[in-house]
Amino acid sequence: MRFDTLLVHEGQSSQPVTGDVVPPIHVATTFDRSPQDPVTRFYGRGENPTREALESCLAALEDAPFALTFSSGQAAAVAVLSLVPPGSKLVSSDDVYGGTYELFQTLGRFGIEVDYVDLADPERRDAAITPDVAMVWVETPTNPLLRIADIAAISARASDVGALVVVDNTFATPVSQQPLALGAQVSLYSTTKFIAGHSDVLGGALVYRDSALHERLLAHRSVTGAVPGALDCYLTHRGLKTLSLRFARQCANAASVAASLGESPFVGAVHYPGHSDHPQHDVAVRQMSSHGAMVSFAYLGDPETLLGGTRLFGAAVSLGAVRSLLALPASMSHRAIPRDDLLRRGVTDNLVRLSLGIEHPADLIDDLSAAMRAGMRGHAREGADRP
Ligand SMILES: *Cc1c(COP(=O)(O)O)cnc(C)c1O
């Protein structure tokens, strides 16, 4: 079956007794083990049929035998970080999700050193991946600057030194980017974002091919207990069925909005991998089947006025949902990162990040233009009032 068919069918077989075309939500926390029932499940922390249906679909989307879901993207990250031996080194994209950075801050007490590197730069990337590195953590496109790292090149280099490659594929989704096919060992998702897609359920997932890895990750999840509930799995799986359709519209909207931002007098640099002048546009074209649904840009007016001035764009963190969202990374999603670090990486106070939803693109452009114009007036007045 092809990708779009798998989205709808995998893990969704009709029920033998009742004929339901949608599998029921299994809420049982424990399973009958009387001798006449050949039961393979024991306890809900370890096994749950609703969770397994979602996992079989997520695995199939990357042609992988294994997927494990978690109560959040962060819980999935903690599980995969349990593979890094104490005292070793982790190389990470420098422009990384704020929560990932905060999580990495806690690794010091295990003696794990984190080296933040611009993995989009081939020279720095190759110099950083040395034999003492146990794991390379790749976020591509990065958040919020949408730089692109070459997953195949990183994976080749990492395999030379025996390091595992984990790709946070939350922004690209399996529709657009297949990290395992490019040589990475683990794809990580915050399913909270595009996979579930409606801003109404938290979740995380790991997708991978290695059975020894599966034993370790499954054991970690069972003992630490960060499993998603059955209703959450159901909602995530329900959202997943429309991922291709939603993402195609979201990407088209991102292209339209990025084009209009490029022509706006209120806008400085626009960060969008689909523009031919994006520094890693060629890598994006090679490893992604679309340019994604995220755009960021430097706004020349007052960012706070812009944040409060849109009607359609929600002023909120998070991304990937049917409703468009607008955020200021420096004061919202990335506020835990020291200001100097942010500025050094180009995350300025006026950097605006958009997550495009599925609304009509002309309405989104009108809404954004009106809010930007209002923010410019405020800004000009403020400037004029100053002595
Ligand atoms: C949101 C996000 C996470 C964390 O996921 P949660 O579901 O919020 O725990 C990790 N990586 C990226 C890129 C994200 O956007």
Question: Do 366 and 220 share a domain, yes or no?
Answer: no
User: 298 - beta bridge partners?
Assistant: 351
Boundary (domain end) residue, out of 189, 223, 240: 240
Domain that includes residue 368, residue range? 244-385
Helix and strand element counts for the chain (H, E):
14, 12
AA identity, residue 337: I
Span from the CA of 98 to the centroid of ligand 1 (angstroms): 9
Span from the CA of 167 to the centroid of ligand 1 (angstroms): 12
Which pLDDT does position 37 carry in this prediction?
A: 66
User: 188 - beta bridge partners?
Assistant: 168, 206
170 lines ligand 1 (CB under 6 A): yes
Non-local CB neighbours of 356 within 8 Å, separated by 6+ positions:
250, 251, 253, 254, 257, 293, 294, 295, 324, 364
> Which atom of ligand 1 lies nearest, measured to the CA of 204?
7
98 lines ligand 1 (CB under 6 A): no
Question: Do 364 and 231 share a domain, yes or no?
Answer: no
Question: Do 87 and 205 share a domain, yes or no?
Answer: yes
Question: Do 259 and 230 share a domain, yes or no?
Answer: no
Catalytic residue among 94, 95, 97, 157: 97
Beta strands 186-190 and 164-168 are: parallel
Q: Does residue 101 carry a catalytic annotation?
A: no
Question: Do 149 and 34 share a domain, yes or no?
Answer: yes
Question: Do 178 and 263 share a domain, yes or no?
Answer: no
Question: Do 180 and 307 share a domain, yes or no?
Answer: no
Q: Does residue 97 carry a catalytic annotation?
A: yes
DSSP letters along 141-183, please?
A: S-TTT-----HHHHHHHHHHHT-EEEEE-TTTHHHH--TTTTT
Residues of the chain with pLDDT under 70: 37-39, 378, 380-387
Question: Do 236 and 249 share a domain, yes or no?
Answer: no
Which pLDDT does position 300 carry in this prediction?
A: 96
Which pLDDT does position 95 carry in this prediction?
A: 86
Which pLDDT does position 370 carry in this prediction?
A: 96
Average model confidence (pLDDT) across the chain: 94
Q: State pLDDT tens for residues 331-367.
A: 888 888 888 888 888 899 999 999 999 999 999 999 9
**Which of 291, 223, 305 has the alpha carbon at shortest distance from 257?**
291
Q: What are the CA-CA distances from residue 276 to residues 167, 264, 282, 347 (Å)?
A: 24, 18, 8, 22
Question: Do 210 and 314 share a domain, yes or no?
Answer: no
Angle of helix 211-224 relative to helix 73-81, nearest 10 degrees?
Answer: 120
Which pLDDT does position 14 carry in this prediction?
A: 74
Which pLDDT does position 337 carry in this prediction?
A: 84
Boundary (domain end) residue, out of 211, 240, 269: 240
pTM: 0.94
Which pLDDT does position 102 carry in this prediction?
A: 93
Which pLDDT does position 137 carry in this prediction?
A: 98
Q: Does residue 193 carry a catalytic annotation?
A: yes
Number of domains in the chain: 2
CATH assignment of the domain containing 234: 3.40.640.10
Boundary (domain end) residue, out of 222, 240, 258: 240
